[in-house]
């Protein structure tokens, strides 16, 4: 009786199976899970640069070419042209991004404030779900305390001092119980903030501050590539090099890709927050360009700086943005080379903007003009290679529902945030978008000292309440005709105001209601 398979055929089969086994082992060993499992979810790489106003980015039409990298990214992304932050500084803006709620709901309205404990459980990391490996890193202490609040939902939370020149600065990081220790030491006992800046520890708090500031100052200078001194985090006066930080991000993305796909990585970088310290290559940028910012009337609650000083700061800001854009470019090149554009969403946005006009410098002020709340949002979907432009108004409250949708999950409750157009949502030109500023209002009381901006259709209504000499004041601008907000339409045509005013005040009353009951 002859054998059913010949010896030659048996050898062929063995060779075939051996090759197959080797190939599958190699795939499992070296390729991320998403590659070996076609049904897995795309990765999400979420990049937030602090204090980045869309009004200063060339990708949004700014005359100085500040963002060649983002322009390149725009060629393969959806660009949201009318995207607004829920708040005008880190705490309020970031909490809006991470909770999908306006500041008057999440209540992180004060500097270094936290989200209302009742709603903190439903944050971005929780809602994306444990199907993703969730990674978070921020250089901004105000954002880091929020991440600390969500620590149960984050698989890996990198210390905020990572990639700094001297990463041993924060006391809280030295304890295993980091979330509480950061609150206790760096927000209370050794408080290094400008306001109020009174440490809860009488002796060591003061000694720590004196020692830390002296040491920080001593090593900040002396880097040939940074003639203006190293970039420094004003919140904890911690120096760093942008190139080191972005190299760190590349390394983290590489590790996440190899070990934890699908992953959700949240990166929140300090630059281009002031003080503006670009490296040598960007120091002389735009020196001879013809661009001259429009002169605007000086605001009542201004920073006490002359127009010339403000314009100089704007020039430095633009240079610093160009520097940051260059670093983002290197990170995106790494992502491209790793092939991550094919299986990942790349999201770029900011927490709030920055003012360099009307005598106002910075973002710690009561205003909500376009430079403060008009922020960039660009999203590159997996494999996307064409540019899409969305002009309808969108808000940072929309980012969370969009990410939850991308993660294949549903929002537990129907919030006011919507899935972004082009990513499963639809455009709605009749929708109202809000930004809320209430830094000095108690987080546990109705908003009585606040600024609210409402953007609806072509109009933007700004309401100032509770300020000395500027109480119960409305300003109305037609953004389609007057993007620079030069013509307040109220004195000319008060009838424009009626419906918008009622809507804004109704929303404010609704937000205040739970706190009025308590009182």
Partner 1 sequence: MKKRFPRIQDVVPVYAVISFMIYGWTFVLFFWKLPSWLHYMTLSQVFGAFSYGILTNLVESLIVIGGLLGLCAVLPSRYLRDTFVDRGSTITIIALGSLMLYQYQFGGVRFDFANDIRPWFIATFFIILLFVFLVAKIRFLKSTMLNISDRLIIFLYILIPLSVICVLDVIIRNLG
The token duo for 289 is: 């360009």
- CB nearer to partner 1: give 191 or 422: 191
Count of residues near partner 1 by CB under 8 A = 46
Of the residues 31, 33, 184, 305, which one makes contact with partner 1 according to CB under 8 A: 184
Q: Of these, 5, 21, 210, 510, which contacts partner 1 (CB under 8 A)?
A: 210
Q: Which is nearer to partner 1, 193 or 358 (CB)?
A: 193
Residues 496 and 459 sit within 8 Å (Cβ to Cβ): yes
**Rule CB under 8 A: is residue 136 a binding residue for partner 1?**
no
Q: Is residue 516 involved in binding partner 1 (CB under 8 A)?
A: no
Asked if 219 contacts 239 with a C-beta cutoff of 8 angstroms, the reply is yes
Q: What is the rounded distance in angstroms from the CA atom of residue 150 to the CA atom of residue 134?
A: 11
Token output for 227: 């003639």
- Residue 107 contacts partner 1 per CB under 8 A: yes
For tokens 């001593």, the residue is: 218
Contacting partner 1 within 334-373 (CB under 8 A): none
**Looking at 47-55, 63-71, 75-83, 106-114, which segment touches partner 1 (CB under 8 A)?**
106-114
Whether omega before 15 lies within 30 degrees of 0, making that bond cis, reads no
User: Whose Cβ is closer to partner 1: residue 115's or residue 265's?
Assistant: 115
Closest by Cα among 105, 101, 85, 102 to 512: 105
For partner 1, which residue of 3, 117, 308, 413 counts as binding (CB under 8 A)?
Answer: 117
**What does the alpha-carbon distance between residue 395 and residue 32 come to, in Å, rounded to a whole number?**
33
CB-based contact 57:405 (threshold 8 Å): no
103 binds partner 1 per the rule CB under 8 A = no
Q: Does 38 bind partner 1 (CB under 8 A)?
A: no
Min. distance of Cβ 355 from partner 1 in angstroms? Answer: 22
Judged by CB under 8 A, the residue of 35, 156, 167, 188 near partner 1 is 188
Binding partner 1 by CB under 8 A: which of 9, 130, 195, 506? 195
CA distance 435 to 457: 15
188 vs 334, beta carbon nearer partner 1: 188
Distance CA 324, CA 315 (A): 14
Q: Which of residues 235-274 bind partner 1 (CB under 8 A)?
A: 237
d(CA 22, CA 280): 50
CB contact at 8 A, 359 and 302 = yes
Q: Choose the binding region for partner 1 from 31-39, 180-188, 304-312, 350-358 (rule: CB under 8 A).
A: 180-188
Does the footprint of partner 1 cover residue 473 (CB under 8 A)? Answer: no
Stretch that binds partner 1, among 32-40, 109-117, 240-248, 346-354 (CB under 8 A): 109-117
Of the candidates 29, 214, 517, 518, which one interacts with partner 1 according to CB under 8 A? 214
DSSP 8-state secondary structure symbol assigned to residue 166: S
Residue 13 in contact with partner 1, rule: CB under 8 A? no
Tell whether residue 407 is a contact of partner 1 (CB under 8 A): no
| Pick 229 or 254: Cβ nearer partner 1 | 229
Give the 3-state secondary structure of residue 394.
strand
Is 193 an interacting residue with respect to partner 1 (CB under 8 A)? Answer: yes
Q: Closer CB to partner 1, residue 107 or residue 352?
A: 107
Among 79-87, 115-123, 300-308, 496-504, the segment contacting partner 1 (CB under 8 A): 115-123
Distance CA 452, CA 429 (A): 20
Residues 215-234 within binding reach of partner 1 (CB under 8 A): 216-217, 234
Q: Give all strands (DSSP E) within 314-441, no chain letters.
A: 344-349, 355-357, 360-362, 377-380, 388-395, 432-437
Structure tokens at 312: 């100089």
Sign of CA dihedral 166, 237, 358, 505: positive
What's the CA gap between 459 and 235, in Å, rounded? 35
Query: Is 444 one of the binding residues for partner 1 (CB under 8 A)?
Result: yes
Q: Which stretch binds partner 1 (CB under 8 A): 79-87, 112-120, 247-255, 382-390?
A: 112-120
User: Nearest distance from residue 154's CB to partner 1, in Å?
Assistant: 16
- Side-chain half-sphere CA neighbours of 369 within 13 A: 27
Question: Between residues 195 and 389, which has the closer beta carbon with respect to partner 1?
Answer: 195
Length of the chain: 519
Among candidate residues 287, 362, 285, the one with its CA nearest the CA of residue 324: 285
Chosen residue from 42, 93, 103, 199 binding partner 1 by CB under 8 A: 199
Tokens of 192: 């290094």
- At its nearest, how many Å lie between partner 1 and the CB of residue 110? 8
Q: Determine if 512 is a binding residue for partner 1 (CB under 8 A).
A: no
- Pick one of 65, 82, 156, 183: the residue that binds partner 1 (CB under 8 A): 183
Residue 455 CA to residue 432 CA, distance in Å, equals 6
Contacts of 367 (CB under 8 A, 6+ apart): 88, 299, 301, 355, 358, 360, 437, 451
- Work out whether 176 is an interface residue with partner 1 (CB under 8 A): yes
Q: Is 25 in the site for partner 1 (CB under 8 A)?
A: no
Candidates 29-37, 187-195, 312-320, 327-335 — which segment interacts with partner 1 by CB under 8 A? 187-195
Sheet-wide strand order for 473-478 = 432-437, 450-456, 459-465, 473-478
Residue 510 carries which DSSP code?
A: H
Answer yes or no whether residue 519 interacts with partner 1 by CB under 8 A.
no
Residues engaged in binding partner 1 (CB under 8 A): 107, 110, 113-117, 120, 149, 175-177, 179-181, 183-185, 188-189, 191-206, 209-210, 213-214, 216-217, 234, 237, 443-444
């Amino acid at each position: 009786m002859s054998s059913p398979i010949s010896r030659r055929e048996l050898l062929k089969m063995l060779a075939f199976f051996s090759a197959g086994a080797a190939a599958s082992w190699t795939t499992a060993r070296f390729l991320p899970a998403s590659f070996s499992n076609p049904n897995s979810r795309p990765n999400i790489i979420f990049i937030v640069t602090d204090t980045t106003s869309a009004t200063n980015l060339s990708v949004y039409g700014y005359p100085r070419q500040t963002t060649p990298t983002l322009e390149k990214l725009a060629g393969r992304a959806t660009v949201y042209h009318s995207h607004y932050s829920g708040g005008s500084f880190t705490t309020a803006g970031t909490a809006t991004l991470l909770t999908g709620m306006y500041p008057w709901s999440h209540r992180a309205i004060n500097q270094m404030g936290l989200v209302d404990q009742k709603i903190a459980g439903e944050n971005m990391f929780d809602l994306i779900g444990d199907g993703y490996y969730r990674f978070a890193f921020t250089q901004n202490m105000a954002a880091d305390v929020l991440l600390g609040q969500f620590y149960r939902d984050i698989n890996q939370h990198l210390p905020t001092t990572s990639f700094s020149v001297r990463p041993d600065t924060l006391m809280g990081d030295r304890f295993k119980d980091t979330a509480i220790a950061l609150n206790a030491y760096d927000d209370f006992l050794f408080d290094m903030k400008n306001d109020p800046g009174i440490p809860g520890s009488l002796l060591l708090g003061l000694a720590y501050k004196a020692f830390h500031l002296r040491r920080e100052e001593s090593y900040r200078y002396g880097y040939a590539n940074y003639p203006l001194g190293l970039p420094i985090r004003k919140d904890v006066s911690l120096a760093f090099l942008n190139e080191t930080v972005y190299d760190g991000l590349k390394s983290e993305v590489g590790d996440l890709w190899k070990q934890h796909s699908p992953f959700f990585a949240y990166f929140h970088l300090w630059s281009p927050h002031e003080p503006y310290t670009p490296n040598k290559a960007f120091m002389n940028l735009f020196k001879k360009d013809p661009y001259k910012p429009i002169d605007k009337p000086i605001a009542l609650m201004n920073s006490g700086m002359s127009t010339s000083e403000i314009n100089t700061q704007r020039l430095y800001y633009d240079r610093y943005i160009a520097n940051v854009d260059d670093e983002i470019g290197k990170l995106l090149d790494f992502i491209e080379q790793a092939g991550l554009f094919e299986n990942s969403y790349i999201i770029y946005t900011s927490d709030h903007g920055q003012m360099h006009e009307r005598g106002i410098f910075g973002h710690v002020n009561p205003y909500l003009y376009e430079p403060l709340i008009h922020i960039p949002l660009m999203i590159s979907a997996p494999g996307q290679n064409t540019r899409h432009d969305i002009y309808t108004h969108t808000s940072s409250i929309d980012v969370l529902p969009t990410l939850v949708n991308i993660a294949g999950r549903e929002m537990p409750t129907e919030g006011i945030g919507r899935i972004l157009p082009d990513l499963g949502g639809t455009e709605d030109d009749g929708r109202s978008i809000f930004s809320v500023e209430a830094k000095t209002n108690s987080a546990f009381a109705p908003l009585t000292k606040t600024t609210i901006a409402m953007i609806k259709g072509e109009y933007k209504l700004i309401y100032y309440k509770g300020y000395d000499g500027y109480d119960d004041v409305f300003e109305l601008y037609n953004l389609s005709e007057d993007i620079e907000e030069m013509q307040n339409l109220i004195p000319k045509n008060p009838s424009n105001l009626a419906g918008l005013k009622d809507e804004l005040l109704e929303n404010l009353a609704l937000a205040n209601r739970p706190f009025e009951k308590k009182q």
